[in-house]
Amino acid sequence: MLTKEFILKSVQDAQDLVTTYEQMELSEHPFFQNLSIEPLNLGAIWLLTKNLNAKEAISNNFVRWLATLIARVDDNRLRSIMAKQLHHELGEGDITQIHNNLLQNLITALELWRPANFTEDWLEPGRRMGKRVEQLFVSVEPAYVGIGALMVGEICAEQLQLCLGKAIRRQNIIESSALKWITLHEELEAHHADDSLILAGLVPNTNQALQALCQGGDAMYNAVITLLDDLCRIVYFS
């Protein structure tokens, strides 16, 4: 896994930010390494998805945060790309396909594998991540910080979906309909990650804008890694 020091030295423009974080493979994180080499642990997958969908966490609030960021950006070209992503999150007009609802369907299907010793404290990693990400999208100035967070967040989301999809397909117990959140995102997140390059090309080529993008991207990546670190300790080392 590449180091933060390497990122700071290698990023020369907004496109570099995208290509550099694409090399930061989440599959190398111990959470996913353990998930891939040990007997399939559906309880670990349940806990990850449950943390993503906790009340204060990212899935329940991402639509609102993204809509707020769109309103904060003063460039309709950037708004256009982000509005497309917002449209996807909301099911493209089909309320049965709202992504947050699809995630809840998966969590419900995984409920049989909820760890017996689960407590509400195990959802604190998702809540802490949500608070960090909300600030990036909603309140931190300039808004380019939020765009950097979005760009890196979509890259991380694509990698996370691929890891989850690979892991969960090691079983044939859960009905395919319950996996719609994963299968849909495996396709869409690849496009959203590509959108990160488009966004990068539209951001002003100034040191101030680049620093803001790097600030947001770094904060988002650290939030994702901290979530996985926390869950790894709960699942494998507690």
Tens digit of pLDDT for each residue in 105-161?
A: 999 999 999 999 999 999 999 999 999 999 999 999 999 999 999 999 999 998 999
CA distances from 192 to 92, 100, 105, 156 (A): 15, 17, 22, 11
Q: Is residue 166 part of a domain?
A: yes
Q: Is residue 31 part of a domain?
A: no
Higher-pLDDT residue of 197 and 193 is 197
pLDDT at 213 over 90: yes
pLDDT at 189 over 90: no
Q: Among 68-82, 181-195, 199-213, 220-234, which stretch is predicted with the lowest mean pLDDT?
A: 181-195
What does the CA dihedral 71, 19, 26, 166 come to, rounded to 10 degrees?
90
Residue 5's pLDDT is 53
Tokens 């990068």, residue?
200
Domain residue limits at 219: 13-24+39-236
Phi and psi at residue 139, in whole multiples of 5°? -130, -25
Q: Which amino acid is at 154?
A: E
Q: Is residue 231 part of a domain?
A: yes
Residue 98's pLDDT is 94
pLDDT tens for 45-64 read 999 999 999 989 999 999 99
Among 57, 33, 56, residue whose Cα is nearest residue 44: 33
Residue 193's pLDDT is 65
Residue 238's pLDDT is 72
Tokens 């395919």, residue?
176
Q: Please name the residues in contact with 20: beta carbons below 8 A apart, sequence gap of 6 or more.
A: 2, 6, 7, 10, 11
Residue 220's pLDDT is 96
Q: Is residue 119 part of a domain?
A: yes
Residues 189, 158 contacting (CB under 8 angstroms): yes
Domains of the chain: total: 1
Q: Is residue 30 part of a domain?
A: no
Higher-pLDDT residue of 155 and 187 is 155
Distance of alpha carbon 112 from alpha carbon 189, whole angstroms:
28
Query: Which domain CATH number covers 107?
Result: 1.20.910.10
Q: Is residue 169 part of a domain?
A: yes
- State the average pLDDT for the chain: 90
Q: How far is CA 154 from the centre of its chain?
A: 6
pLDDT at 222 over 90: yes
Residue 48's pLDDT is 97
Distance of alpha carbon 39 from alpha carbon 236, whole angstroms:
13
pLDDT at 227 over 60: yes
The pLDDT of 176-203, averaged and rounded, is 82
Phi and psi at residue 218, in whole multiples of 5°? -65, -45
pLDDT at 41 over 90: yes
Residue 20's pLDDT is 87
Percentage of the chain surpassing pLDDT 90? 73
The pLDDT of 210-217, averaged and rounded, is 93
Q: Is residue 118 part of a domain?
A: yes
Most confident of 13-22, 32-41, 129-138, 204-213: 129-138
pTM as predicted: 0.91
Residue 125: helix, strand or coil by DSSP?
helix
Q: Is residue 107 part of a domain?
A: yes
Among 222, 81, 226, residue whose Cα is nearest residue 152: 222
Long-range contacts of 4-8 (CB under 8 A, 24+ apart): 4/218, 7/214, 7/218, 8/214
